[in-house]
Structure formats: structure tokens, C-alpha cells
Structure 1
């Protein structure tokens, strides 16, 4: 199963040394590279509705048999295609506790529509068997705190700590049919996680440079169904921890519009069931582009497009957000 659990945000500047045009470029970069930067001013409040769409496909060929010649296999050959479409409707709220500290709470609502096509190549019929899995539910609610280390001079450093809950439907509890397909697709990861990160923002006319790095630590939990087919449903699972980084730059077109380009990478280490490693290490790389358009002094429209560069990454992800400051 390919996963990609990602978050997006908007940069709000409180630093007088950064010009208004630079601030908008920083906004666009942060939206493109899925992280936050300069924080919400003290006593200010912001809400951000968002919508995102991701498309992920995978192809797999399973062979049960033996090889007579390098090009001839005797046995059961099965080819399967999976097409997963996910819509996420999110609402985030942010509050500036001080000029250096920002608090955030985000709640997503996830709709998934998965289609699967399975074809047994050496059976009398050539028609593939098709299955669908559809459902919508609350996703994993997240809370975050961010601290800006310096206020007066660039480069700006922001440390963050994000905690993700397990409020979404777990893939380790959901019922599956005889073909191993979810009756109702999961909308969460199934466990809590903690994610510390560090962000660097460096305005340099006419561009703004950006970099971020962090580590996601997933906490283990008990599964609601048998994962290793030993007849017991109390398996202990632990999703693989991951390391991520991103970098990029952005440019201001004018005092209202800016665009950015960026690169994201995440390495997901092996997961485990009952303490035994399973699966493989995943490499998720994507190329991002985005724009930020100031509609009013307190409202901005952000768009972000990501294209997967590796097999494990989602094929494409498009997101729109509309942060409104109060």
C-alpha cells in the first residue's frame, strides 16, 4: 500500500525586515513545500479551509509456479491494477500566542474511491475481475506548535512539533473481503505520530530560498484484525518511521501574485508486526509548483501541484487553500 501522509500551510510574516513582496513569495514557497514558516502575530487568529485531490495508481504481477525457461513460466499468473482517488476537505485554525509561538489545530474529512482490476492470465476468461471500495469519514486530527528563533535578521529559523492523532478509520481495524480489499477504505493511519521539524527561510532579492527537514515517529498500536494470518487478532503493528526534507525558491510577479518551485523527499523505513520487520523501505520524491494570490489584505488564495517522481509517491496531488486572518 502506498501512503503518503502530508500537511500544508501558509506563511504569515511578522518581521519588519521582510518586505511585503518578499512575504508573499515566502507564503507561496511554504505552500509548495508543505510546511509553515513565519508565524501568526501575537493575538491574531486565522482559519484556513482547504481541499486537495490525490491520484495514485499501482500495477503488480504475481506469479505462483516455476520457470521452465527464462521466458516461460508454468503456474498461476495474476496481474492487478489499483487506482486510488482521495479527496480531503480540511479546516485549520491558528493562533499567535506570542510573536514567536504559534498554535495550530487541523481537522480533515476524507473521501476515498478505490478501484481494483485483477486478471488471471492463464485462465479461460480474459475479462478482469473488478472491485471498488468507497467511503468517507473523519481523518486524523492534528495539533502543532511552532517557535521562531529569530525575529530581526535573516535567515529565519522556525522549529515545529506536530502531533497526529488516530481519529481516522484505521487500515488495521477495517474489514476486508476475500480479495484483501477494504469494504470501507481507511481514512487515517491507525496510530499516533510525533513529528519534530526545523525550517529555514532566507529572503534574498528577488527570490526567497527555503529549506525544511524533520522526522516522523509513529507510535505502535494493536490491530483489530489478524495481520500475519496466525489466527490471532491482537497483533501489534508499528508503522515505519520516516525522514523528510524539502527545498526550493520562489519569486514575486507583483505585489499580489507570486509563484514557487520546490522538491520534496521522504524516506519511510520498514514497518513491523509483533516486532518483526515487514515490507520494504519506501522512497517518496515529488516535484512541486504553486502560486499565491492576495485577494484582500487578510485573505489569500493558494494553489499547489505535486507530481510524483518515484514509484512509491502519489502520481499527482492538487490542493487549494484560502487562509483568512482576523
Structure 2
């Protein structure tokens, strides 16, 4: 079979066209492979998830959405207690006592989206406490707390997001005023409390800046009848507290995030009413530096690990923590 010159030219152009089409198709395939698919994580999504994992108190759930989070926290407090003890009708002695309290708190936090801009939360803690200096231990339910977080205005690009919160603390744990404090460790505060405040957050991709300001009122504890330092303690007003917090969350990648925060609280001086006198305690100022690392273990789960330390004598010396979401059948809406 013989090919004419025209046939050779036509065959050449046909072959060239096949190569061009194949090259175009390969470029399109590569572009599609590198392009974002539905469900892929983007910068905004990753930043939002980092922020939610780092500072859960600033996030809100969609209406009807439910989450359950498990957390374990450890704190170490070393201190020396100096107490004046009555040894006679008009004589007193000063007693110094060292303590090293190790506290492990296992907590379950349930969040429910009432509306898109209103989230209800309840926290159930279980406390294990050890004092290695005095050889004491305690295992009990801690103080249960419930809160509401409300976002009054829609989030707008380039503007900070404002969230208001209110919470109540219940004295469900063992109170330090139920029995002799020298012989037992408490797992709760012993009083009811209410708190309110505001949270602010601002996105500067890939960083989220956040801060909060809050106030806590502690209700007085009455009808105590506890002997302390040779005196009968009748009631305690533990004083109110002001709190402040600021920090940032940063997305290192889609799977790793870093957050750092500074927390500070100022407690007004408490009042102790004894049978024969009323004494005023000292004001307390606690300050903490806290660092957390978020690790994505699956597309929908982020495990958060944190470590911190105290900056004042009224603060815990060491803080460690871990939190993770729990997937329970029937918890998520259809």
C-alpha cells in the first residue's frame, strides 16, 4: 500500500492533534487533582476548628446541635499554712503547716445549641485529690456548673465577634466547711456562685485573637459550726472575684494548632464570722500562663493538650490538661 504526500501530511497532523488533545487532557486531569474537592478543608474552616478546640468557651453551636467533651486536668499547689490557734482563754500559738495538693479532675461537658446564637452547657466534674505532705486523700463529685453563651450580633468580616455568658455554680462537691479542714480534703467550694461576662474574638488569618472579662459573685455560707484554731466558725463570705483573659490561637497546619493565653483573677478579701469575733482575710491575685496544642486525629475530631504554670503565690504551681470529643450514638442530630 502506497501513501501519497497529501496522505502523509494528513497523517502527521492527525497524530499531532492526538498529542495535543492528550496533553490538554493530562493538564486538565492534573488541575482537577490539585483542585479543592467538596469536603476538603480550607483556611477559614481550619482556623475556625483551631479556635473552637483552643478556647471552647468562645464557640457557639448550631440550633439542635449537641456535643459531649471529656477532659482530664491536673494541678499542683504547694503552700505553707500559718494559723493562729487558741491554747487558753487569753493565749494563742502560731502553727505552720506545709501542704502539697495534687488534684485530678475528670469532667464531662455537654453542650446544646438552643438557637444558632445561644448555647447551653453543663459540666459534671469528678475530683481525686491527694495531699502528700499530710498523707490525705479524697474522691468525690465536684461542683456542677451550668452556663449560657449568647451572641447578640451576627459575625461580620473585619469586625470582632462578641459573646455574652452567664453561669451558675452549685455546691455539689464536698465543702471545706462541713468538717475539720485539718483532717479532710474538699472537692468543692461549699457555696453557690453566679458569673457573668463578655468574650471577644477577632480573626487575622491565620490567627484568632481573643479576650474576656468576667465577674463572679459568691454567696455567703451560713450555719457552719466548725471549729477552726480553737474558735467556732459560724459563717463565711468568700468574696467576689474579677477575671481577665487574653490570648491567641494559630493554625500551624490543617492538623496541628497552637494557642497561648494569659489568665488573671482578683478575689476580694473574705470575711470569717466566729462566735466571738469577725476576721477579715487577705485579698488574692492569681495569674496563669497556659499553652495548648491541638492535634487533628480524624477529619471531625481534635484532641487538645495544654500545660501551664502559675505566676503568683496564690496560683497553682503546675497545670496539665487533655480534652477530646466523645462520639456517642444518638448524640448527634439526624
Q: TM-score range by the shorter chain?
A: 0.7 to 0.9
CA positional deviation for 1:300? 1.9
Report the Cα offset of residue 52 of structure 1: 0.6
Change (3 A) 1:220 1:283: same
**Residue 168 (structure 1) aligned to one of 156, 159, 173:** 173
Instruction: List per-residue Cα deviations over 1:137-191 (Å, max 9, x = no partner).
Output: 1100111111012233131111000100000000011234xxxx13x31100000
TM-score, normalised by the number of residues in structure 1: 0.78
Q: CA 1:159–1:229 in 2, change beyond 3 Å: closer, same or farther?
A: same
Equivalent position SS for 1:295: strand
Max Rg structure: 2
List alignment gaps of at least 5 residues for structure 1: 1-16, 65-75, 117-130
Question: In the alignment, which of 126, 129, 142 is matched to residue 109 of structure 1?
Answer: 126
Q: Cα distance 1:79–1:167, how it changes in 2: closer, same or farther (>3 A)?
A: closer
- The alpha-carbon deviation at position 231 of structure 1 amounts to 5.9
Counterpart in the other structure of 1:300: 302
d(CA) in 1 for partners of 2:179, 2:81 = 23
| Distance (whole Å) between structure 1 residues aligned to residue 231 and residue 161 of structure 2 | 54
**Counterpart of 1:42?**
63
Contact 1:38 1:148 in 2 (8 A): no
Matched residue count: 275
The structure whose residues are more often helix, as a share, is: 2
Q: What SS does the corresponding residue of 1:19 show, helix, strand or coil?
A: helix
Q: CA RMSD in A?
A: 2.5
| Whole-angstrom distance in 2 between the partners of 1:286 and 1:137 | 26
- Who is 1:149 aligned against? 152
The 3 A distance-change label for structure 1 pair 81 and 232 is: closer
Gaps of 5+ in 2: 1-41, 86-92
- TM-score scaled to structure 2, two decimals? 0.76
| Aligned residue runs from structure 1 range 258-269, under 5 A | 258-269=257-268
Identify the structure with bigger relative contact order (alpha carbons < 8 Å, sequence gap 6+). Answer: 1
Following the alignment from structure 1 to structure 2, what is the Cα–Cα distance between the partners of residues 306 and 237? 31
Residues in 2 aligned to 1:224 and 1:304: alpha-carbon distance in whole angstroms: 37
Structure 1 position 256 matched with structure 2 position 255: yes
Q: 2:222: which partner in 1? A: 222
* Cα separation, 2, equivalents of 1:110 and 1:174: 18
Instruction: Assess, with a 3 A threshold, how the Cα gap between structure 1 residues 61 and 107 changes in structure 2: closer, same or farther.
Output: closer
Is structure 2 residue 273 aligned with structure 1 residue 274?
yes
Alignment correspondent of 2:141: 138
Counterparts of 1:279-290 in structure 2, within 5 Å, are 279-290=281-292
Q: Is the 8 A contact 2:169 2:193 kept in 1?
A: yes
Report how far residue 18 of structure 1 moved.
8.6
1:9 maps to what in 2? none
Quote the residue 1:317 is aligned against. 319
Task: State how far apart, in whole Å, the 1-side matches of 2:145 and 2:84 are.
Answer: 41
TM-aligned CA deviation for residue 306 of structure 1: 1.4
Question: Match of 2:257, SS?
Answer: strand
Q: Which deviates more from structure 2 when the two are superposed, residues 274-283 or residues 190-199? A: 274-283
8 A contact 2:143–2:169 mirrored in 1: yes
Residue 78 of structure 1, CA deviation: 6.2
User: Which deviates more, 188-197 or 76-85?
Assistant: 76-85
The answer as to whether partners of 2:192 and 2:218 remain within 8 angstroms in 1 is: yes
Q: Secondary structure at the match of 1:322?
A: strand
Q: What displacement does 1:101 show?
A: 0.4
Q: CA deviation at 1:77?
A: 8.3
In the aligned structure 2, how far is the partner of 1:145 from the partner of 1:295? Answer: 29
Q: Is the 8 A contact 1:58 1:83 kept in 2?
A: yes
Alignment of 1:192-211 (within 5 A): 192-211=192-211
The structural deviation recorded for 1:298 is 3.1
Equivalence for 2:74: 53
Contact 1:217–1:241, Cα closer than 8 Å, also in 2: yes
Q: Determine the C-alpha separation between the residues in 2 that align with 1:81 and 1:51.
A: 26
Q: Is the 8 A contact 1:250 1:261 kept in 2?
A: yes
